[in-house]
C-alpha cells in the first residue's frame, strides 16, 4: 500500500479526529514500517506519525495520554507502548492503517470508532 509520510503536525492533518485504534503493535514495528515518529504535541501525545495514502486519505497514528508527556514518571516509555490511536477524517483511515501494519484491513487488532 503506497503512502507518504507527512511532516509532523502537517496542516493536512489539522482537524482529524480519533477514528479507531490498533493494539498489540510495538513501537519498533511502527518504526520499521513508518520510520521515526514526530514528537507529538508535547502534552497528551509523545509519538505521532502523519500519513497520506495514494488516494488522498489522511491518517495519523499516535499514543494518547499514556506516555511521559501526560503522566510524567508514571507514563509508559514510548518504546514500550503497544496500543495506538488512529486519527483521520474518515473511518477508512483505520482500515488503511490496519492493512499497512497487519496486511489485512479487517484484522481483529484494529478497532473502528463509529459515532452516530
pTM metric for this prediction: 0.91
For 40-64, write each residue's pLDDT tens digit.
Answer: 899 999 999 999 999 999 999 999 9
Q: Using alpha carbons only, give the angle 66, 67, 70 rounded to the nearest 5 degrees.
A: 85
Q: What mean pLDDT is predicted for residues 15-24?
A: 94
For cell 513501537, what's the residue? 27
Give CA–CA dist 25/31, Å, rounded: 11
Could you tell me the residue ranges of all domains in the chain? 3-112
Amino acid at each position: 500500500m503506497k503512502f507518504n509520510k507527512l511532516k509532523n503536525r502537517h496542516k493536512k492533518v489539522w482537524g482529524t479526529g480519533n477514528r479507531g485504534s490498533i493494539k498489540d503493535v510495538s513501537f519498533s514495528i511502527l518504526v520499521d514500517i513508518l520510520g521515526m515518529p514526530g514528537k507529538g504535541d508535547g502534552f497528551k501525545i509523545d509519538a505521532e506519525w502523519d500519513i497520506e495514502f495514494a488516494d488522498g486519505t489522511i491518517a495519523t497514528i499516535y499514543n494518547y495520554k499514556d506516555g511521559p508527556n501526560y503522566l510524567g514518571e508514571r507514563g509508559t516509555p514510548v518504546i514500550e507502548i503497544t496500543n495506538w490511536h488512529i486519527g483521520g477524517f474518515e473511518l477508512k483511515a483505520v482500515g488503511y492503517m490496519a492493512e499497512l501494519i497487519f496486511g489485512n484491513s479487517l484484522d481483529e487488532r484494529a478497532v473502528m470508532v463509529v459515532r452516530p
